[in-house]
């Protein structure tokens, strides 16, 4: 599913403090039964920003998705996660039981921006990434689900970029997951919950009082 197809719209029609969330603005307000187009909205429809994006649009970032399936359709708090990185051109790199994968489509992922758009930083990022991915350390035969996996690949890369001082959370897998991954996936989980309620019922009424 393309990320452009997962937009949730939000508006207030007749009741202050009650958001109506939907994929398409309904013809009739689910609260008052009046045609939406014929009456003014308290808050006109707008698109809620989604945390689920296409990795190719986010260069020099860490990217996250479920190991199996997609965030919108399959994710739960118990889901295993898969992580990778993008280069300065938005090309994806990740490590799994097949070894290093390059250029795989990640069109519904969570992104952690790591460095700014400074040319020298991006050049160093790309150089280190090329060196890491050419190492036999990341061959398919070395993969181990618990001790030599996608998280180890990403952290080894970030350490090789000498980012520990600017991003202390990358010191270990534990701190990386607790301080960065969980933080970003929690934001996604909130959006996913709303999305699924809208998908199930056609709309979702959110009390914001």
Residues 114 and 98 in one domain: yes
* Domains held by the chain: number: 2
Residues 67 and 139 reside in one and the same domain: yes
- 161 and 128 in a single domain? The answer is yes
Domain span at 35: 3-50+190-207
Q: Where are the beta strands (DSSP E) in the chain?
A: 8-12, 18-22, 43-48, 61-66, 81-86, 92-96, 99-102, 110-113, 204-207
Q: Are residues 66 and 78 in the same domain?
A: yes
* Cα distance between residue 196 and residue 205, in whole Å: 13
Q: Both 195 and 184 in a single domain?
A: no
Question: In tens digits, what is the pLDDT along the chain, a chain of 209 residues?
Answer: 444 456 899 999 999 999 999 999 999 999 999 999 999 999 999 999 999 999 999 999 999 999 999 999 999 999 999 999 999 999 999 999 999 999 999 999 999 999 887 878 899 999 999 999 999 999 999 999 999 999 999 999 999 999 999 999 999 999 999 999 999 999 999 999 999 999 999 999 999 97
Same domain, 175 and 153: yes
Q: How far apart are CA 112 and CA 192, in angstroms?
A: 18
15/77 same-domain check: no
Q: Do 38 and 141 reside in the same domain of the chain?
A: no
What is the model's pLDDT at position 1?
46
pLDDT at res. 6: 67
Q: What pLDDT is attached to residue 80? A: 96
Q: Give the pLDDT confidence score for residue 5 in this predicted structure.
A: 58
């Amino acid at each position: 599913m393309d990320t452009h197809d997962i937009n949730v719209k939000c508006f207030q029609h007749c009741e202050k403090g009650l958001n109506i969330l939907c994929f398409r603005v309904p013809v009739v307000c689910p609260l008052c039964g009046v045609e939406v187009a014929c009456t003014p909205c308290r808050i006109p429809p707008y698109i809620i920003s989604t945390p689920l994006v296409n990795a190719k649009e986010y260069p020099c970032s860490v990217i996250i998705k479920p190991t199996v399936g997609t965030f919108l359709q399959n994710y739960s708090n118990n889901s295993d996660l898969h992580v990778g990185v993008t280069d300065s051109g938005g090309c994806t790199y990740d490590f799994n039981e097949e070894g290093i994968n390059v250029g795989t489509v990640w069109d519904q992922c969570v992104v952690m921006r790591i460095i700014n758009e400074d040319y020298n930083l991006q050049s160093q990022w790309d150089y280190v990434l090329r060196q890491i991915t050419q190492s036999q350390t990341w061959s398919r035969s070395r993969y181990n689900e618990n001790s030599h996996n996608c998280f180890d690949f990403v952290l080894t890369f970030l350490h090789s970029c000498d980012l520990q001082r600017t991003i202390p959370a990358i010191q270990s897998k534990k701190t990386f997951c607790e301080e960065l991954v969980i933080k970003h996936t929690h934001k996604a989980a909130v959006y996913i919950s709303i999305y699924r309620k809208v998908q199930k019922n056609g709309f979702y009424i959110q009390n914001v009082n």
